[in-house]
Structure 1
Amino acid sequence: MTTSAPESVLDALSELLIERLEIPSDEVRASAPMRDLLTDSLMIVEMAVAVHDTLGITVEEEELRDATLAEFAAFVAARRTDR
Structure 2
Amino acid sequence: MRDAVTTSAPESVLDVISELLVEKFEVPSEEVRGSAPMSDLLIDSLMIVEMAIAVHETLGVKVDEEELRAATLDEFAASVDARLTDR
Q: How does 1:12-31 map to 2 (within 5 A)?
A: 12-31=16-35
Q: Which has the higher relative contact order, 1 or 2, with Cα contacts under 8 A spaced 6 or more apart?
A: 1
- The count of corresponding residues between Structure 1 and Structure 2 is 77
> Is the radius of gyration larger for structure 1 or structure 2?
2
Match of 2:43 among 30, 39, 42: 39
Residues 13-71 of structure 1: per-residue CA shift (max 9 Å, x gap): 00000001111101100110001001100000110011001000000100100010000
Percentage of pairs with the same residue: 74
TM-score using structure 2 length: 0.85
Q: How does 1:49-64 map to 2 (within 5 A)?
A: 49-64=53-68
Match of 2:76 among 69, 72, 75: 72
Q: Which runs of 5+ in 2 are unaligned?
A: 1-10
The alignment's C-alpha RMSD in Å is 0.9
For residues 40 and 81 of structure 2, the distance between their equivalents in structure 1, rounded to whole angstroms, comes to: 21
Q: Which runs of 5+ in 1 are unaligned?
A: 1-6
